[in-house]
Chains A and B, each alone.
Chain A
């Protein structure tokens, strides 16, 4: 039987799901010892009840009210016990007064110092990076003859049909004859550089949002068989339904087969994990060893995400909004690691990422517009205690992350 004061620690660990088997058996022994113990544990494990109890406690001790209550009670006790202190006399009181003021002064000084330092840092960083704008609509088209065409930045997407048009209907290629005629199927490539994004609607009506640093290879026209494209980077796919012609995305690490559906696919060559996040419909993923063609199938339902890393894969339930927010113009972090969050930033602002120290142990949360300049984003991250440097290099900028600890 553990000492009673050990129990709150065990209960907290259980709540936070970090209880060891040995601790769990100690807690279980305590629970089994008395029905009242079981009733207590049940109450604490009931989130609604726990919330209500914590709220009651907070009403007593939370915020300024709680501090004032504590001071008032402490004062009352000290006043009632002070009579017996008389023999220590006044020098003792002066000591107490001095002792009480010292920490206040130190705290004030620290706050002031911190405030001054952080505002200086912010000004410096802001001056350095004011000139780095967010990513914009950028993409390059490679025609079957190898010729490349830079797509119009004032347009947000292209439409593949008999000819190639921008979303507003204007022709992409002013010179006739360059584009494959409508009766043949030729390989095409659209690539979006870092710091870019673009949309493409394929000949079957499938709509794809391409994120920074992505490449899609597609035929100018789909035939009667499977609709096959190859893809690298990150894209949000809304695949046109056609049960006779399955849509297949081929990637170095996996293939995704769909009938008609919406999902986000993120598979950057420099990231170890490839994620397929299904918003609607159904997809079949085959991953594994492409050399000996030993593929492992994975079926996703809406709200699920497949994470493929080399020859291993798993399925998780996720908030899909966090993974598709980019196409609506947001960074959306939900407990993201620094690696993941900074990789997203660096792709969008076209920066090279450098960690001179260990990677800071932080999690990213929240939603922020992608159309802000880098300076605005870093300002926000700085408030959370991270430190950065942005340094110009021959081919662009480096973002240096200084760990906060």
Chain B
């Protein structure tokens, strides 16, 4: 637990919202993704996660470490997701089966799912560090499978563009998604 963690934990315990915001900043993205993978419904996942942070606030005096908070968040979110699934299962059993087939990891282990969510969060953080235009090019080429020409047409830029990568972020992404063979697209620079 670093100094920032300790500071914000004590703020939270003193009833300062700044402490709560710190933990939302740290966990809300991974947690919502984790919940969405379970319930397959973004709006429901959002609501569940919001409620769990409210629960953290209500039980703030009990926490002794940030690991406590994290474990509490994931357990509370998982329980809420299961409750939601059970509730809808009684209504629409068929659809529930369909949903569980679509879950990204066959196993229900909460720890495994948490690690999955956190790893994806970390990878996405690298994408977030790219300048907006480079991030757009990354999305089009990697997520949408666009060719160079298609990207240039979509963005209305000249094919004769060049770039230069200097950030650790671009390097990190290139290493992660190495099989895609379009690395230089990331670094297309926009000449007007």
State yes or no: do A and B come from one complex: yes
What residues of chain A have their CB less than 8 Å away from a CB belonging to chain B?
Answer: 4-5, 7-9, 11-12, 15-18, 34-37, 39-40, 43-44, 47, 49-51, 53-58, 60-63, 69-70, 73-74, 76-78, 80-82, 84-85, 331, 333-335, 360-369, 380-381, 383-386, 404
Would you call B135 and A63 a contact (CB within 8 A)? yes
**CB pair A334 B184 closer than 8 Å:** yes
B contact residues around A39 at 8 Å (CB): 105-107, 112
Type the 1/0 row for B42-75, where 1 means its CB is closer than 8 Å to any CB of A: 1000100110011001000000000100100000
A–B Cβ pairs within 8 angstroms, 11 of them: A12-B119, A15-B176, A36-B105, A37-B112, A40-B105, A54-B124, A58-B139, A63-B132, A76-B50, A77-B57, A364-B164
Nearest CB of chain A from residue B10's CB, rounded to whole Å: 17
Q: Which residues of B contact A7 (CB under 8 A)?
A: 115, 119
Alpha-carbon distance between A82 and B178 when the two chains are bound, in angstroms: 46
Say whether B6 faces chain A, with CB atoms less than 8 Å apart. no
A318 shortest CB reach to chain B, Å: 13
Q: Does B20 contact A (CB under 8 A)?
A: yes
Q: Are A34 and B109 in contact (CB under 8 A)?
A: yes
Given A51-B143, A60-B33, A78-B21, answer yes or no on A383-B189 (Cβ-Cβ < 8 Å). Answer: yes
Using CB atoms, name the residue of chain B closest to A362. Answer: B166
Q: Are B124 and A77 in contact (CB under 8 A)?
A: no
List the interface of chain B (C-beta within 8 A of A): 15, 17, 20-21, 24, 28-29, 32-33, 36-37, 42, 46, 49-50, 53-54, 57, 67, 70, 104-107, 109, 111-112, 114-116, 118-124, 127-128, 132, 135, 139, 142-143, 160-166, 171-172, 175-180, 183-184, 186-189, 191
Are B161 and A368 interface neighbours, CB within 8 A?
Answer: yes
A78 CB contacts on chain B under 8 angstroms:
17, 20-21
Q: Decide: A363 and B118 in contact? CB cutoff 8 A.
A: no
Are B162 and A333 interface neighbours, CB within 8 A? yes
CB neighbours of A385 from chain B (8 A): 166
Known: A77-B20, A380-B162. A36 touches B109 (CB 8 A): yes
Which A residues are in CB contact (< 8 Å) with B114? 4
Give the docked Cα–Cα distance between A59 and B93 (Å): 28
CB distance from A107 to the nearest CB of B (A): 14
Does A384 lie within 8 Å of B53, measured CB to CB? no
Q: Which residues of A contact B184 (CB under 8 A)?
A: 333-334, 365-367
Chain B residues lying within 8 Å of A36, measured Cβ to Cβ, are: 105, 107, 109, 112
CA distance A127 to B132 in the complex (A): 30
Contacts of B178 in A (CB 8 A): 47
8 residue pairs, one from A and one from B, having the closest CB atoms: A366-B162, A384-B164, A36-B107, A365-B184, A16-B175, A368-B162, A362-B166, A365-B187
